[in-house]
A and B are shown apart, each in its own frame.
Chain A
């Protein structure tokens, strides 16, 4: 028994030594205060990219572009997707892991924009810069930058294209149009609509453009859940109530899915095809544009968005302030986030081949 007593004393001291050796330094992490980041960081630093689940081709493409682009720029890239079922928890854990690994910049395509504030705060406290990619992260003062396409501009382009398209078909007004907007619970839907109205309102006031049904309020034009059948039903109704004898010249549609539903409705009623706008460059709509049915769509090229994000990372690495072009529009609930907005591109039949030249999926459709 006494012999073992000795053994255990050794064991006790060993355990104590182990404990102390592991932590003799006291608090760590003090050295990496966020002030250092202003002076840049090593050129081969780790850059974390956390993206939502691989549910759309767009995110898969963005992930590939980030891995290759960051590696080409000399960084170490850690690109992670959230899992299919536990998306938010996965993304939270991934961002935390990137912080622990000492990533200098973390790019986040948020799976739920409101549920990442804790992780963003921890990353910021560890000295990492946080860039929100495509989706603004809300309710955190620790978000550094936001990169996205200019959604107000999307609306403006749609409004302008609608006017141009109608003018090309019929040199003189007044033109009869109808307005559609996206789902009322989607923040972007209102932004698109306001952008379009920014262009259309002066023409409507002049009497050059007439909303023949009189339904101009966003509550009347909204399509719940961006549902195609909702848009089709509303268009059927409008055709019956308003366009018995009048001619419909144009329809403002916020995206491609709704645009195609509107066209289906008009064709079903046996009316001539009006000028219809769209957005997203969906394959079916690009085909429709080439065929001369849908008038326009918007191209938001993921390649450009990723390229701009990587440019931001490069600027941060060099210790410069990244280029931003909007310092007042994007309030996330805690602060106004410095934003770089990319211009979306309006695509019609005339410039489709040129606009999709770099897109392996859409380019063949335009030939």
Chain B
């Protein structure tokens, strides 16, 4: 165990450099640069709330906030896991030549997406201020659902990264899967409007639980029950352990398939 921690410490500067690289390259040659992480969710929300408050009407108060909260979490999940999926493949040239703990590449992709989710969260607060929504003290609890979603994405990302090295098909499959997952997460609609069996499926989606907690503390000024926290916590931990297990079992074979 100490060996792992020492190894991690040695490569911590590398993690920093990798994250910096991701961020730099993403916004290189764009005029507004990092400001886009703030603008993007705002513009998306503007479009979606115009579409959904005129075309399809859901009886939700503060619909734009409801939508934006869902968007932020789901986009983070989408971006970070899709990024993590190609983390090993994309760094093949490095992995083939130098010894680097390979999970570092996955962690760096998740970390750079986490920077995005933080600034998107600032966008959410801006909207709340702008629409004169009350900010509540429960807001401080937001670190918990954010932490959950980051760890959950890390677990999923590790599995995807390991499997994608062996089966490139996953890259194509995952895009389709994400579209399905988007409709199975209550982002644009309230979960109550669903018919019985669909509701069950949506409830089983781990993202739903985390998103509920997120909305509760940010928008609705309610503290979710301990059971809610526990259920999500267990799922998240399970995902991380599963991810680590799959990744460590596969990682020595990466180089043969790159």
Bound pair: A and B? no
Binding site for A on B (CB under 8 A): none
